[in-house]
Structure 1
Amino acid sequence: MHNQPWTAARLVAFDLEGTGSQDREDEAILEVGAVPLPGGRPDVQGAYDSIVNPGRHIPRRPWSPPGLTNDVLASAPSLEHITPELTALLDGAYIVGHNVHVDWRLLSLRCPGIRPAALIDTLKLARRVHEGKRSLTALLDRYQLTDEVTKLVGGQPHRALWDAAGAGLLLGKLLGDLPGGGALTVAGLRDVAGSPLGDDGEHPVPLF
């Protein structure tokens, strides 16, 4: 597997929205979005998203995801209810995301049974390719992908499925601008865009 083209990996773009790191160990997941990337392209038919009932009142903050009010969240399923579907999508996969270690920190805290093969960070890759602004929305604008993301999954920026699809589309564009990126192997993708799964930098499951 490690010598095959990077598109041969089981890639899944992922994003979540949470209450914020200021909640520390009490931080809750409010929404998840996952988009498989067979052959390196988003598969919208296989996408999954869900809002999540945090089980408590969530104060509104400037960075709160748009539309995720307490009234909306109160009717959502619990995280325990959707964990089996998340696990089926993400366990053993190469999870792709923008600044992915932030999402992984909360996901691994709340769903410790999910064990991906690797984390692939489009922000890390963007730092190799571009100077200047590296936010997801700025990069999608740069590559003229913003409208395409919306056409694919609907919604808006800073919602989980939209951001996940955006990261999935961005991955191929960034690799296209990386010298030799189009010919990368699975191992090469991990080398240029991999992010550690644990604080010790070790991967909890074999990569290949």
Structure 2
Amino acid sequence: MNFATWPALLIVDVEGNGTNPPDLVEVAALPVRDGGPDTSTAGAWLIRPPRPVTPRAASLHGLTNGALAKSPTWEEIADQVHKCLGEAWICAHNAHTDYRVLKAHLPTWQPTGVLDTLRLSRATYKDLPRHSLDALIGHIQPDLTAAPAQRHRATYDAYATAQLLLAMADHYATWDQLIAAAVPPGLPGVPEPEKEPTLW
């Protein structure tokens, strides 16, 4: 895979407060450049949600109401997040969730396309019994020594997803082949079907 052919791409991950629909408590946006994650230009935000973090959510990501008490509200940072995301491609694990939550919080935001490492894993490792983030980390064993925070934090999960995407990309010769396997139906970036030749 020639990574120089890739368009602007951000690995994104969001963490919520456990309500339905969720309020955001953390967003991470990690650029992939030259075949690697670029932590020097990554974006990461902690957010004080309008509704309290549920005990279950706090037990997963560790972001308690007390820890977020002095963080900005979504309204205070929404423009920063929108500017960081721009119109770049995004990638996430189980991307429907991250895309849906971000779109609900940023109605005018529109990425060029959405890659899903869950969908890509199912296409790449057809015999793997599970395709969760933890299962993929165990199968691929990427180097996560430079990952910030810990599992279930947006910054860590975005870094891990970046490494998994790059490992799976090696199974595809071109960007077009990669997106054919990785873009979920109904999300931006789905390749146009080839038109049948006609007599006209």
User: TM (normalized to structure 2)?
Assistant: 0.84
**Partner in structure 2 of residue 161 of structure 1:** 155
Match of residue 49 from structure 2 = 54
Match of 2:106 in 1: 111
Question: Which of 135, 140, 152 lines up with 2:132 in the alignment?
Answer: 135
- Contact 1:44–1:153 (8 Å) recurs in 2: no
CA change 1:88–1:32 in 2 (3 A) is: same
Aligned residue number for residue 197 of structure 2: none
Greater gyration radius? 2
Determine if contact 1:44/1:152 at 8 Å carries over to the other structure. Answer: no
Equivalent pair of 2:15/2:61 in contact (CA under 8 Å): no
* SS of the residue 1:32 aligns to: strand
Corresponding position of 2:36: 41
- Counterpart secondary structure, 1:50: strand
CA offsets per residue over residues 145-204 of structure 1, 9 Å max, x none?
Answer: 2xx32x32321111001001111111111122x3xx0x213x3332110125xxxx2649
- Rounded to whole Å, the distance in 1 between the matches of 2:119 and 2:69 is 36
Q: How many residues align?
A: 188
**Match for 2:113: what amino acid?**
A
SS in structure 1 of the partner of residue 179 of structure 2: helix
- Residue 7 of structure 1 and its aligned partner are, at CA, apart by 4.4
Gaps of 5+ in 1: none
Query: 1: CA distance between counterparts of 2:4 and 2:94?
Result: 20
Alpha carbons 1:6, 1:184 under 8 Å: kept? no
Q: Distance in 1 between matches of 2:4 and 2:114?
A: 13
Cα offset, 1:63, TM superposition: 7.2
Q: CA RMSD in A?
A: 2.3
Write the deviation string for residues 51-78 of structure 1: whole angstroms up to 9, x where unpaired: 1110232221167433200101111111
> Could you list the runs of 5+ residues in structure 2 that have no partner in the other structure?
193-200
Q: 1:53·1:77 contact (CA, 8 Å) conserved in 2?
A: yes
Moved more, 128-137 or 161-170: 128-137
- Counterpart-to-counterpart distance in 2, 1:40 and 1:93: 16
Change (3 A) 1:13 1:62: closer
Residue 143 of structure 1 aligns with an amino acid whose one-letter code is I
* Structure 1 residues 172 and 203: alpha-carbon distance in aligned structure 2, compared to 1, 3 A threshold: closer
Q: 1:134 to 1:35 in 2, by over 3 A?
A: same
The answer to whether the aligner puts 1:192 opposite 2:192 as a matched pair is no
How do residues 84-103 of structure 1 correspond to structure 2 at under 5 angstroms?
84-103=79-98
The residue that corresponds to 1:174 in the other structure is: 168
Amino acid at match of 1:184: T
